[in-house]
Structure 1
């Protein structure tokens, strides 16, 4: 058994118990990666890190892994590469295979965007042109066994029912790329709302277009499309509840728990389409295995004189909707209640105010709540900071929060019906050992138990607040509790006196 070499190419707290993986020879998915060379883009991202850790830990007979990286925010390639392996998410790997880095040589640059409000030109270059370039490279690889394209379940959110199939985009990929290359930023910004049409942002718009490109340009490649929904903390791997970003639902739960987010426009009974991160990775690796098996079957037929012919060319590229709602749905209201149930047991010293968060379906009610609960206090606090010589930060901070809230609200006031028959068939196709090693079935998923350690993960891994500070956090929690209710009592008393004053004037 040889060490895995990770080869980059230069371009320009607390750990919750995690089930350690004991790889056995009966794993067909592990076997498919034996002596394989894997190229990963986005290796510094949340999903990329989990893909990397999972492969290195469960597939020790890998030959090489290539990672595409770039210098960013003053950090050089080697520094960013080393940071990938610094976090608690890599501890299980270091325990299982402490020599995994001994043959590391160099790193590759990768550009990726996770911003929903990204300018159209940037989003098109990264999400569309970047995929086109990768497809060209993949087409030159002689022994390509599998290509996994990670998209999003919301790439076709302009539809109410989303099946595991391709849908027509708002504009062809060729026309989009020609357009963004011809027009300057100012003109593009003006016509962007017209171009994206029923898509809420440039991210999902360009993701849909990149899927259409794959449909037309990758017919001869062993490729599969993975569509995860809103990605949240891990279930088991690499460690329970691990999360390293504030995006999506995680940002909402964190903001509410810290007492800085008081309202979100959302319908409590609507399904919150969320999926744990390690389930996404496991489904992706299983999809690669199935794709490689299908390629080997076709290659075998061709070598035996059986023509794949028109059937193989017309065979649609497989799409996997990695979602929870098809098997174990959870609503926004229930997810908020579960966070509120478990968060008070692990209060943080970083808490700003008592939790006063509420889901509000009515837009007017939400905006009024935002004005009185966010905007007014922010200006008052910034005014006090200005008076005592400190830098005002609250107003700018809430402007960013409100921008984030508007993105999430789009998905929280709407519902979609997702089909995931391909995912369910893939699960049933797997051996019992592979189902153990690569768990992703959401059938009868225990959301209550999940939120008990997801909330801990948010506290430990995002706030960097270890669990041994709970006693201090609890003291602050009760101080803020009494302060919050004291303020409410004073405000109610003032309102009462004001109404009585008006009453006396009238009568």
Structure 2
């Protein structure tokens, strides 16, 4: 017998943006695996010479759909690509596609966004803010619309350290409407130059444009059945579509990856700060549940403002960045990489100058040595260029791993309580139930398989362990050599000083 959430999606037509992204693909997989959804329209743009239909057709080989294709090989036929681009006016939709969406769609899930922190303001505004306004305008024309879920971020209001489930327009230097007028009326170059003044206390264009987007929703979506979902930092899956699945190198996963390779040894990180990390499958489960609740809860339609759901670890199961590092470190021998370049270890500091000083010895000097060896072997040097990129990314991410935020999750907990026991099992997003030790075991296995592209067999793991032990011996030998050399130098200096007094 179908659950309440499953019954809601039966024979429904969904319009999904961001369907080719990390969150989007898991959303598609979950819908097709657990519901009898009629059709999923996905906004896609051509990419790198590949037409949108070719991109969609290639999904049957994507690991995220692997289990689905085994049980239901025809499932992806329910996914229909719509040519478009969130950066374009009118979302880049053709008139015919737009009319199809207006006539057929009942559920809108808007996940599309540019998550690059250093995105030029004119692009971030177009993709994150203007596109959401256009989505709202499109939704108002949909004759059968029942539910609209907008995916924001828990850090859209990062200028405050305690984030409630409400709007924060008071922190914007200028109303969203005026900023969007600037986007249309002045050159991109001039707008980008104005970015520091417009952003105020916001650390980057991503969080700033997400805050503007929420104000657009607050002002312009009052008559829509709409909810805002604010997830924390979305990382590898816990259980679905397979444990540890990940396809990108953003944020904390990049730290795990760099440390596992023995490349990253020092970073900016506040070990005492709360880590607002959430598994992608739990995010998807909550998005789908939000859509169900938005359609069924009449109080949402009567409310002057749409409900907001913060989604971060619950107070009874918090994890710090120190816990994140330590749990990963304890497992580094369990799933070692055969391609590691040195012994995996990671030191952390919150002091920028100390990070830069330590990076000279942990990153730059070894990097120059490796590049010199590569040149001597007739190969292209790459380590210093890689470390430059790593250090820039560390600087960009610093505000989010040094500051400790807390989040109210009252609405999220109320939503969980509304669900039946069957739906709670099928669409689990209860962060209190996450076993972080087990989670990191799955996440590191996923980093090894899906990012490092290593085979999952035990034979490969054993080979990695042998390499790990070899580098551990070399690391200890290097430490002994350096400490011994330093002691000899100090002893020599001390002897000279003592000799001068005799």
Same fold (TM over 0.5): yes
- Equivalent pair of 1:81/1:107 in contact (CA under 8 Å): no
- Equivalent pair of 2:43/2:81 in contact (CA under 8 Å): no
How far residue 32 of structure 1 moved from its aligned partner, in angstroms, is 0.8
Alignment match, 1:493:
484
Q: Helix, strand or coil: the match of 1:244?
A: coil
How far residue 107 of structure 1 moved from its aligned partner, in angstroms, is 4.1
Decide whether aligned partners of structure 1 residues 290 and 106 sit closer, same or farther in structure 2, where only a CA change above 3 A counts.
closer
Alignment match, 2:310:
321
Q: Helix, strand or coil: the match of 2:432?
A: coil
Alignment match, 2:124:
123
Any gaps of 5 or more consecutive residues in structure 1? 1-23, 299-307
How far residue 216 of structure 1 moved from its aligned partner, in angstroms, is 0.4
d(CA) in 1 for partners of 2:278, 2:56? 27
Q: Deviations over 1:72-121 (max 9, x none)?
A: 12322122112333222212212332221346665433444221110101
Pick aligned residue for 2:30 from 54, 57, 65? 54
d(CA) in 2 for partners of 1:196, 1:116? 13
Q: Does 1:293 align with 2:296?
A: yes
Alignment match, 2:287:
284
Alignment match, 2:95:
none
Q: Deviations over 1:419-468 (max 9, x none)?
A: 01000000000011111110001124311111111111111111111222
Deviates more, 1:86-95 or 1:121-130: 86-95
Q: Deviations over 1:35-90 (max 9, x none)?
A: 11101111110000011000011112x22110111111232212211233322221
Highest RCO, 1 vs 2 (Cα 8 Å, sep ≥ 6): 1
Pick aligned residue for 2:241 from 224, 238, 243? 238
How far residue 395 of structure 1 moved from its aligned partner, in angstroms, is 1.3
Alignment match, 1:304:
none
d(CA) in 2 for partners of 1:163, 1:364? 34
- Equivalent pair of 2:363/2:387 in contact (CA under 8 Å): yes
Alignment match, 1:69:
44
Q: Helix, strand or coil: the match of 2:348?
A: strand
- Equivalent pair of 1:327/1:444 in contact (CA under 8 Å): no
Decide whether aligned partners of structure 1 residues 490 and 151 sit closer, same or farther in structure 2, where only a CA change above 3 A counts.
same
Alignment match, 2:63:
88
- Equivalent pair of 1:264/1:409 in contact (CA under 8 Å): no
Alignment match, 1:138:
139
Alignment of 1:105-120 (within 5 A): 106-111=81-86, 112-120=113-121
Q: Does 1:342 align with 2:331?
A: yes
Q: Does 1:181 align with 2:184?
A: yes
Q: Helix, strand or coil: the match of 2:10?
A: coil
d(CA) in 2 for partners of 1:404, 1:142? 45
Alignment match, 1:301:
none
How far residue 368 of structure 1 moved from its aligned partner, in angstroms, is 1.3
d(CA) in 2 for partners of 1:457, 1:35? 34
d(CA) in 1 for partners of 2:131, 2:72? 33
d(CA) in 2 for partners of 1:175, 1:103? 40
How far residue 185 of structure 1 moved from its aligned partner, in angstroms, is 4.2
Q: Deviations over 1:136-185 (max 9, x none)?
A: 11010011000110000000000011011111133222211222334434
- Equivalent pair of 1:243/1:457 in contact (CA under 8 Å): yes
Deviates more, 1:404-413 or 1:187-196: 187-196
Alignment match, 2:416:
427
d(CA) in 1 for partners of 2:60, 2:124? 28
TM normalised by structure 1 equals 0.89
Q: Helix, strand or coil: the match of 1:149?
A: strand
How many residues align structurally? 468
- Equivalent pair of 2:19/2:28 in contact (CA under 8 Å): yes
Q: Deviations over 1:172-212 (max 9, x none)?
A: 22211222334434433433222212111100110010010
Deviates more, 1:72-81 or 1:30-39: 72-81
TM normalised by structure 2 equals 0.89
Q: Helix, strand or coil: the match of 1:343?
A: coil
d(CA) in 2 for partners of 1:337, 1:395? 28
Alignment match, 1:29:
5
Q: Does 1:210 align with 2:247?
A: no
Alignment match, 1:303:
none
- Equivalent pair of 1:123/1:203 in contact (CA under 8 Å): yes
- Equivalent pair of 1:89/1:238 in contact (CA under 8 Å): yes
- Equivalent pair of 1:30/1:58 in contact (CA under 8 Å): yes
How far residue 416 of structure 1 moved from its aligned partner, in angstroms, is 1.2
Alignment match, 1:248:
251
Deviates more, 1:256-265 or 1:205-214: 256-265
Q: Helix, strand or coil: the match of 2:76?
A: coil
Alignment match, 1:3:
none
Alignment match, 1:263:
266
- Equivalent pair of 2:122/2:192 in contact (CA under 8 Å): no
- Equivalent pair of 1:346/1:467 in contact (CA under 8 Å): no
Alignment match, 2:90:
none
Pick aligned residue for 1:395 from 384, 395, 408? 384
How far residue 332 of structure 1 moved from its aligned partner, in angstroms, is 0.8
- Equivalent pair of 1:249/1:408 in contact (CA under 8 Å): no
